Structures are given as structure tokens and as C-alpha cells.
């Protein structure tokens, strides 16, 4: 079978009435005890949760929320880590017709207050950790009528566990339209205020082809999915948790406050994980573990997205996990629209893949016309598309600015070739203009990562009177490496010889860590601000 055959045969099947909560739970709860969640607790024990138990828990929570005034259309914050209760909260909201708002537990007070206030959340489902963060901001949230904790009581909070124990496990999910709103996910952009991307129930069905491509064929008997990405983000929630539950594939749930490479390898091997979504930054950390194959983690499929994967990382993945990694692409507003699929066509290092069947993706010029093959432009997705957001919450101006005609503009720069493969260049604001050249940071970062002294690298453009912007590398060295002018010169020479003279970093800074978003993407905007006024450590 070929990619072209799969693409040409694909047809969307989006029913008029669809509810994510029922689709991800009730249809598998047939009394058979089919496994839904494998929970690795913090004490090291494991808990097996069947679809039958999942249905009962979500129904009890839905009844509890309704009894305390939550109605269809109300926004409900979900401030929980990667634990079963987070899945209960999402599915209960969808069944009720409420709009779930996933929130990351590592958010500070200001980030939480903005999101809860911006969406006008009527309720919040959380735990003791979340209650501690809510304490100082609750008076600033007049719309917040109900706070429920699922691990005991809290100051001014409903004991959700006790309330659920009293509630009925029978609940009739609301008969929702596929276009009814179900979810608000706030963008994790590096500049400006976050915007709430409002998605309909159909977003789950829109994700399915984009999940199947990197994990082809999906599902298979014996599959078990895990990701270190928190379920508060679209990658963890809609790339892993919800589509797996929809397809009857169990998900490994584990609260991982900090990504520890050896612990991750041990976890995957011990529990027989067969399918993984691992962000590139986590993959690079795993690559620093000597002989990772000794842990015994052997995956059937492995997908990654968010940063460009290079040839070295692809080769390493094959050796470490025994499978070919597939790169995919999307964003909060319109996710999983480009993907590689090794069984249909060998991945091409440096190229993300081709349009996922069902999605019309193109590279556009500023005037909205399509670029010629090999011409750089903005990645765009044509509407209507079931995976595309309904709009930004209470922000019609920002929604309108996201489109040119019927094309949603991602803000990402790329080029496409004659076969429809897409090569990522960078964010619009990440592309470096230097001496008349437009330079994407991804390729330079990949080149720097080939040096044995480099653990992580980020490349940005800093203001330069002569060149407009100077290509600047910020490098995290491996443990024990001596930094200084000699190493900086080596790195500059590596880029000169492996890429091009105009692309080598004129400045090199060494640092202990790089700022990243909660989803593991390098915050290049923050690096530009941080180093704009700083004298170069080495270079020029």
C-alpha cells in the first residue's frame, strides 16, 4: 500500500451528533473489563482501570458537577497532572456538555489567573497542589462558583471524592452536535497573552488520521500508549489520551514532575509500552543515556513533533527502540495535519512528511497564492476541516487575523517539493534575516547537536548593524565539557563546513539550560530578549 492510495481512498465520516465523552468511554464499557488506563502510582504500584470503571467514575463526576450547578456550555478548569482523575474530569465535562479547560500544574499564579478569568470558568476540578496555587487568586475570579478537589478536602473546596461516592454511576450524556464546543486549549506562544483555542467535539475525529499515520497501522492488538507530555496540552490530550481511548487502546498514566531519561526508559520497558509520543527535547535527553537499548524498551511505533528531527536522531531512535520514528506537525488551532509514515514511505531526514489524508495543506505567499515547489512560505490549512478550531475564545479579531480567505495561517515557514513533502524552516518570528539571507534555526541547531560536546542548542538572530541580524548560538554543553573560545570556534567551523558560511553562528554563548515551553519547545523569543544586550561570549 502506498501513501497515494491511502490518501485517495480517504473520506471523512463526521456524524451530525457526536459526544467525545461517550465515544471515548461508554462504547467500550460492555462488562468485559477491557483495560482503559494503566496507572503507575507515585508509590510504584500499578492500578488497572477498565472501561467499565472509567464509565462509572465519569458518570459519578458528571452527576456531581451537575448537582452543584454546572451546566452545558459552562467552562470547567481541569488542573490535574497525568493521573486517572484528569481523564475522569475531561470525559465528565464532555458528557455534560460543559467546556473543559485543561491547565498545566506547573503554571504560576499569574498564568492560572489569566486563563481562568479569560474563559470565565464556572468550576475547577483540581487537587491539593492546585488548591495551594488557587489560594492567592480566587478573589480575582468572580465567575468561579465551584472548586472541587479529588484528593481530599481543601479550604472552600468540595471534597470531590466523597461527593462522587454518593453520586449515581448512571448518566445519560448530552446529545451534542459534532460542532458543539467541548474544549478550550490555551496556546503556549512565547510572546503576547495566551489565546484560548476553542474546539468542537469533532476535533477528536479530526485527529484520528493524524494519529494513525505515525503509528500505522493503528490500533493493533497489544498496543499500549504512553507520552511524557502532560495531558494539559494538545499533544498529550489529543495526540495520545483521547484517540487511544476512542480506539480501545489502553494508556499508561504516570505523574512525571520532571522528565528523567533513565526512569522513562525503565518505565517503557517494565510496562511493555508499544506506542510513544516523545517530544524532540525529551528524545535528545534520552540520547544522552549510554546504550539505551540495554533497558529493553522496544516500541512498535514512535512519533514526535514540535522541533525538526535530524538524520542522527532518526538513526539513534531505530537503534534505541527498534522502530522508525515518524515526525508529525500541527499546532493548537489545527493539529496533526502533516506526518511521515514509515510503512508507506521511508522518512526523509529534514522533511516533516506529507499532508495527512483528509487535510488540504499548502505553502502560501503573503498574498495568499500558493508557492512553487522549493519556494519558502507560510504553512496553511484549508477550511472546512474537522480538526480545525472554532475560533479564539472571545477574540474574533485574532480569529480573523488567523485566516486569509479559507486558509488558516499557521505562522510557520516551510517549503514543499513536487511530491508534497514539507520541510520546516521556522516560525515567522524565528526566521533569521542575515546579510540578505533568510536562515531557519532548525538546521543549524541540528548541525550543532552533532558535536559530541553539545547537549542542547538553540539558534536565534540578534540585532546587528551590518547584517541586520547576527546568527547566534546558545549552547548547553554536556557534563564535564570545558567551554571557551576553542570550543566556540569548533562549533562555528562545524556549521561552516556542514551547512554554509553565511549560516555559521557569529556569536556563541554557553549556558546551563534553555528556556522551554511546557510542551518542550525552545522559547527562542525569550532567548532573543535575554541575549539582545549581552556581549558575545565568543565569536564575531
Please say if the pLDDT value at position 183 is more than 90: yes
In a domain, 320, yes or no: no
CA dihedral 265, 268, 271, 273 (to 10 degrees): -160
Of the pLDDT bands very low, low, confident and very high (cuts 50, 70, 90), residue 467 is confident
Residues 6+ apart with CB under 8 A from 153: 159
Where a domain ends, among 201, 217, 236?
A: 201
What's the chain's Rg over C-alpha atoms? 23
Q: If you search the block for the grid coordinates 514539507, which residue do you land on?
A: 422
Specify if 511 maps to a domain.
yes
Q: Which residues are CB-neighbours of 298 under 8 A, at least 6 positions away?
A: 269, 321, 322, 323
Q: Distance between CA 333 and CA 521 in Å, rounded?
A: 16
Eight-class DSSP state of 177: B
Report the distance separating Cα 265 and Cα 75, nearest Å: 37
Q: Which residues form the domain of 508?
A: 431-539
> Exposed e or buried b for every residue in 419-441, given b needs 16+ CB within 10 A?
ebbbbbbbbeebbbebeeeebbb
Classify 173 as helix, strand or coil.
coil
Look at residue 190 in the predicted model and tell me its pLDDT.
39
The structure's pTM equals 0.86
In whole angstroms, give the CA distance from residue 168 to residue 186: 33
Any residues with CB less than 8 A from the CB of 166 and at least 6 apart, and which? none
Residue 416 belongs to some domain of the structure: no
- Show Cβ contacts of residue 183 under 8 Å, excluding neighbours closer than 6 positions: 99, 100, 101, 102, 198, 199, 203
Cell numbers for 224: 499500549
Q: Is residue 530 part of a domain?
A: yes
Among 150, 302, 313, 284, residue whose Cα is nearest residue 240: 302
Q: Which residue has the higher pLDDT, 190 or 80?
A: 80
CA pair distance 216, 227, nearest whole angstrom: 17
Residue 44 has pLDDT above 90, yes or no: no
Structural domain count, the chain: 2
Q: Residue 77: which of 125, 119, 142, 145 has the closest Cα?
A: 125
Which region among 32-41, 319-328, 420-429 has the lowest average model confidence (pLDDT)? Answer: 420-429
Residues whose CB falls within 8 Å of the CB of residue 174, separated by 6 or more in sequence, listed in order: 19, 72, 95, 96, 97
- Dist CA 352 CA 57 (whole Å): 39
pLDDT in tens, 423-433: 998 877 787 87
Whether 318 shows a pLDDT value over 90: the answer reads: yes
* Chosen domain end from 201, 225, 247: 201
b/e map of 464-479 (b: 16 or more CB within 10 Å)? beebebbbbbbbbbee
Long-range contacts of 401-407 (CB under 8 A, 24+ apart): 402/333, 404/364, 404/368, 404/380, 405/368, 406/382, 407/362, 407/364, 407/368, 407/380, 407/381, 407/382, 407/383
Domain assignment present for residue 405? The answer is: no
Q: Which of 145-149, 207-211, 375-379, 499-503 has the lowest mean pLDDT?
A: 499-503
Q: Indicate if the pLDDT at residue 252 is higher than 70.
A: yes
Residue 248 within any structural domain of the chain: no
Does the pLDDT at position 534 exceed 80? no
CATH number of the domain enclosing 447: 3.30.300.30
Report residue 218 as a C-alpha cell.
493503528
Conformational region of residue 297, where left means phi above 0, alpha means psi within -120 to 50, and beta covers everything else:
beta
Whether the pLDDT of residue 38 is over 80: the answer is: yes
Among 170, 201, 232, identify where a domain stops: 201
CATH number at residue 35: 3.40.50.12780
CA dihedral (442, 443, 447, 450) positive or negative: positive
CA distances (Å), 10 to each of 326, 328, 510, in order? Answer: 20, 19, 49
Greater model confidence, 503 or 217: 217
Asked if residue 93 has a cis previous peptide bond (ω within 30° of 0), the answer is no
Q: For residue 171, give the nearest of 76, 93, 288, 282 by alpha carbon.
A: 93
The residues, ordered by sequence, that sit 6+ positions from 354 with a Cβ below 8 Å of its Cβ are 3, 338, 339, 340, 345, 419, 420, 421, 422
* C-beta separation of 448 from 504 below 8 A: no
- What's the pLDDT score for residue 465? 78
Burial label for 418, CB within 10 Å (0-12, 13-18, 19+), is exposed
Short-list 249, 190, 205, CA closest to 225: 249
pLDDT tens readout for residues 83-109: 999 999 999 999 999 999 999 988 888
Residue 209, in any domain of the structure: no
In this model, does residue 82 exceed pLDDT 50? Answer: yes
253-304 pLDDT, tens digit per residue, is 998 878 899 999 999 999 999 999 998 878 988 998 999 999 999 999 999 9
The mean of the pLDDT values for the chain is 93
168: CB partners within 8 A, 6+ apart: 59, 60, 63
Does the residue 328 lie in any domain? no
Q: Tell whether the model's pLDDT for residue 192 goes beyond 90.
A: no
Closest CA to 37 of 90, 101, 93, 100: 90
Amino acid at each position: 500500500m502506498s501513501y497515494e492510495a491511502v490518501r485517495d481512498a480517504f473520506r471523512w465520516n463526521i456524524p451530525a451528533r457526536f459526544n467525545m465523552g461517550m465515544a471515548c468511554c461508554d462504547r467500550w464499557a460492555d462488562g468485559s473489563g477491557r483495560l482503559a488506563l494503566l496507572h503507575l502510582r507515585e508509590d510504584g504500584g500499578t492500578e488497572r482501570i477498565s472501561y467499565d470503571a472509567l464509565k462509572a467514575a465519569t458518570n459519578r463526576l458528571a452527576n456531581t458537577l451537575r448537582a452543584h450547578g454546572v451546566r452545558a456550555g459552562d467552562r470547567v478548569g481541569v488542573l490535574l497532572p497525568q493521573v486517572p482523575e484528569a481523564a475522569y474530569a475531561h470525559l465528565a465535562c464532555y458528557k455534560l456538555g460543559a467546556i473543559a479547560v485543561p491547565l498545566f500544574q506547573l503554571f504560576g499564579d499569574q498564568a492560572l489567573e489569566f486563563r481562568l478569568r479569560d474563559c470565565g470558568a464556572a468550576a475547577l476540578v483540581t487537587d491539593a497542589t492546585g488548591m495551594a496555587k488557587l489560594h492567592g487568586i480566587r478573589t480575582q475570579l468572580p465567575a468561579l462558583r465551584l472548586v472541587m478537589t479529588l484528593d481530599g478536602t481543601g479550604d472552600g473546596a468540595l471534597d470531590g471524592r466523597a461527593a462522587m461516592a454518593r453520586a449515581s454511576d448512571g448518566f445519560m450524556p448530552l446529545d451534542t452536535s459534532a460542532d458543539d464546543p467541548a474544549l478550550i486549549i490555551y496556546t503556549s506562544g512565547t510572546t503576547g497573552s495566551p489565546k484560548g483555542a476553542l474546539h468542537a467535539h469533532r476535533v477528536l475525529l479530526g485527529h484520528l488520521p493524524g494519529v494513525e499515520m505515525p503509528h500505522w497501522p493503528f490500533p493493533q492488538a497489544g498496543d499500549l500508549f504512553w507520552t511524557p507530555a502532560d495531558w494539559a496540552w494538545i499533544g498529550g490530550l489529543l495526540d495520545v489520551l483521547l484517540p487511544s481511548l476512542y480506539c480501545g487502546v489502553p494508556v499508561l498514566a504516570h505523574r512525571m514532575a520532571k522528565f528523567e531519561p533513565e526512569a522513562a526508559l525503565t518505565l517503557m520497558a517494565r510496562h511493555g509500552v508499544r506506542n510513544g509520543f516523545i517530544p524532540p527535547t525529551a528524545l535528545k535527553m534520552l540520547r544522552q543515556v549510554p546504550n539505551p537499548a540495554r533497558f529493553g524498551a522496544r516500541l512498535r511505533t514512535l512519533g514526535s513533533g514540535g522541533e525538526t528531527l535530524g538524520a542522527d536522531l532518526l538513526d539513534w531512535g531505530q537503534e534505541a527502540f527498534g522502530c522508525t520514528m515518524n515526525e508529525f506537525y500541527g499546532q493548537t488551532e489545527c493539529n496533526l495535519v502533516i506526518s511521515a509514515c514509515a510503512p508507506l514511505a521511508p522518512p526523509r531526514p529534514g522533511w516533516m512528511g506529507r499532508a495527512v489524508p483528509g487535510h488540504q495543506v499548502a505553502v502560501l505567499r503573503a498574498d495568499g497564492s500558493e508557492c512553487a515547489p522549493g519556494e519558502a512560505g507560510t504553512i496553511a490549512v484549508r477550511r472546512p476541516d474537522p480538526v480545525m478550531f472554532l475560533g479564539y475564545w472571545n477574540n474574533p479579531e485574532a480569529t480573523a487575523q488567523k485566516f486569509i480567505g479559507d486558509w488558516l495561517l499557521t505562522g510557520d515557514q516551510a517549503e514543499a517539493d513536487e511530491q508534497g513533502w514539507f520541510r520546516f524552516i521556522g516560525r515567522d518570528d524565528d526566521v533569521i534575516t542575515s546579510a540578505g539571507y533568510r536562515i531557519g534555526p532548525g538546521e543549524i541547531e541540528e548541525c550543532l547537536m552533532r558535536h559530541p560536546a553539545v547537549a542542547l542548542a538553540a539558534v536565534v538572530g540578534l540585532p546587528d548593524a551590518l547584517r541586520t541580524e547576527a546568527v547566534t548560538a546558545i549552547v548547553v554543553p554536556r557534563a564535564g565539557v570545558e567551554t571557551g573560545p576553542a570550543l566556540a570556534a569548533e562549533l562555528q567551523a562545524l556549521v561552516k563546513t556542514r551547512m554554509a558560511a553565511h549560516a555559521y553562528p557569529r556569536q556563541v554563548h554557553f549556558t546551563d539550560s534553555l528556556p522551554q515551553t511546557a510542551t518542550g519547545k525552545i522559547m527562542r523569543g525569550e532567548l532573543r530578549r535575554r541575549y539582545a544586550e549581552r556581549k558575545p561570549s565568543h565569536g564575531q
